[in-house]
Structure 1
Amino acid sequence: MAKDGEKKTCGQVMDEWKEFFWNPRTHEFLGRTASSWGLILLFYLVFYIFLAGMFVLTMYVMLLTLDDYEPTYQDRLATPGMMIQPTGKALDITYNIEDTESWDLHVQALNIFLAPYNESEQVLNNKECTPDDYFIQADSGEIRNNPKRSCQFNRTLLGECSGLNDLYYGYNVGKPCVLIKLNRVIGMYPGKERQSPHVSCGVKTENSDLIRELQYYPANAAFNLMYFPYYGKKAQVNYSQPLVAVKFHNITFNAEINIECKINSNTIANPTSERDKFAGRVSFKLRINRKD
């Protein structure tokens, strides 16, 4: 043994480490006997099983309070959001009339989006409803009226923006169509006294002369009440969101135009906050380039 204050040799240090890993005299491994290691492992095993059990029990109790068809709590704005199709890049619809590829992407996006609105699909999956009345499908106590039916929305309602007669939705001649939809909100009643919410569009900041003629489809630019209330994706598997199309017939070429479309309703609050630019409205840029 080295005396106090003397420096240990490398062999002594190695012997001490070997004895720490395994002491043949006391049968200790890493400073503990087999029974000591067994008690520690047993403690942690029981401890983590208890934690896992508490987690599973908490999740089970929470799941008992949830409804598979409707959220228990809905923390939503008083005004639902809106969106357009085609979305373009960051809601920027820019193309050149002479460049087919620049507007063909928008045409293809509209074709894909409107495919479920074909009359054959709607007749097969959805019901022909009474216009201007809510399509209420109440449950009978705890007996659910599921699956719930949905009302037909045929793309023919979109007129010149349906893509049936004009295969290019006006993009090839500088008279493009833009589709507008209201975001789905479970249990929302967007109008009263048989007054459906309707859409209005206009230039947001620039001179209004940049857009001289708009046409809406349906003609009243309304989301008919028969498509409400919405009962959720699981309850209404074939639900078709109502659409409003706006066609820009006479627009100024080679100019970037900021357009805003908003919802007008006697039950939905008018959008006032600039913090949420999609609450009850949607803003997008439209630029159509053409050689002079």
Structure 2
Amino acid sequence: MSAAKQGDRKGSGEWREFFWNPRTHELLGRTAASWGLILLFYLVFYLFLAGMFMLTMYIMLLTLDDYKPTWQDRLATPGMMIRPKGNQLELTYSLTQTKSWEGFVQNLDSFLTPYNDTQQVQMNDDCIPDQYFIQEDSGEVRNNPKRSCQFNRSMLEECSGFPDRSYGYSQGQPCVLIKLNRVIGMLPGKDGQSPLVTCAAKREDSDKMGPLAYYPPNGTFNLMYYPYYGKKAQVNYTQPLVAVKFLNASLNTDIDVECKITSNTLAPGSERDKFAGRVSFKLRIDNK
């Protein structure tokens, strides 16, 4: 037992001596000079790494343009989105339950506020339709901020929220707004032909959807709203919209709808990317 205690004391003493040796003035086996050299090495090493990182970031930032991306992976066809979005692109509501569609109406009201005619007249230009609104820079002189064309809310007619504050949801004739995602510099048409939106039901639901009305009446994104120059260069830009109104959709059943963009410059969407040049959503209107 005594030998065991002596062994424990010896081990404890060795550990204390390793941590701090009063004879050699070593801490954890190193003298103050040794610790100083190690700390100095790592200080210089990490300062060098930080300096390299800052230099790399500085050089990279010199290549960037505040108004236009230096590198841009151009999508063959931009995506599309709807408003109101609903839950996972599902627009389901009941005609007899006002609360079931009030959220859709509020979403549309909020989304269309920047499109109010009075606001558009103050901020944007009355452009010539069916031709691009080109605003190039003059050499090193920036033509910023760039102007934008008016897209007045009244152009959506029956889906503007003016003649019917419920956008048709209370009558079972809901409006759905469609927008094309922004891509800087994109030219979506040629020869004066604007890209066209068409909507149809999936094959098994073709007899449920009923007739549609498009607003503006031609259902196009007019060329005068392109090209888009970026959020910072074109601060007042408002995306063109196409509204689709379901005039006689079947009640108490799911209707799978797909809207596509048709253009003579944009490639048709592929099956690999279901959001390229198209958007799919489900519509269900209950009357109970």
TM-score > 0.5 by shorter chain: yes
In 2, Cα distance between the equivalents of 1:261 and 1:242? 16
Q: Once the two structures are superposed, what CA deviation does each residue of 1:53-110 show, in whole Å capped at 9, x if it has no partner?
A: 1111111111111111111121132111100000000000000000100011101100
1:87 maps to a residue whose letter is: K
* Map of 1:230 onto structure 2: 228
Q: Is 2:278 aligned against 1:251?
A: no
Mind listing any 5+ residue stretches in structure 1 that lack a counterpart? none
Question: Is 1:34 aligned to 2:32, yes or no?
Answer: yes
Between the aligned partners of 1:247 and 1:127, the Cα distance in structure 2 is: 28
Instruction: Tell me by how many angstroms 1:7 deviates.
Output: 8.6
Q: Which residue of 2 aligns with 1:76?
A: 74
1:147 equivalent to 2:125? Answer no
Other structure's SS at 1:284 match = strand
* Distance apart, 1:136 and its partner CA: 0.6
Alignment-derived partner of residue 85 in structure 2: 87
Q: CA deviation at 1:212?
A: 2.0
Instruction: Specify the SS of the correspondent of 2:282.
Output: strand
Match of 2:94 in 1: 96
Counterpart selection for 2:272 from 271, 275, 282 = 275
Q: Distance in 2 between matches of 1:287 and 1:218?
A: 24
Match of 2:17, SS state, is: helix
Q: Give the alignment partner of residue 128 of structure 2, picking from 126, 130, 154.
A: 130
What is the percent sequence identity of the aligned residues? 69
Q: Quick one: which amino acid aligns to residue 178 of structure 2?
A: I
1:174 maps to what in 2? 172
TM-score by length of 2: 0.97
In 2: Cα distance, 1:120 partner to 1:254 partner: 40
- AA in 2 matched with 1:180: I
Give, as a single letter, the amino acid of the residue that structure 2 aligns with 1:201: C
Q: CA deviation at 1:205?
A: 2.5
Residue pair 2:205, 2:255 contacting (<8 A) in 1 also: no
Task: Give the 3-state SS of the residue equivalent to 1:288 in structure 2.
Answer: strand
Q: How far off its partner does 1:275 sit? A: 2.1
Q: 1:156 to 1:38 in 2, by over 3 A?
A: same
Tell me, what secondary structure is at the counterpart of 1:184?
coil
CA distance in 2 between partners of 1:72 and 1:13 (Å)? 66
Distance 2:284 2:205 in 1: 15
Deviates most, 82-91 or 61-70: 61-70
Q: Which residue of 2 aligns with 1:285?
A: 282
Q: Distance in 2 between matches of 1:251 and 1:31?
A: 84
Compute the TM-score of the two structures, normalised by the length of structure 1: 0.95
Structure 2 CA distance, aligned partners of 1:131 and 1:258?
Answer: 33
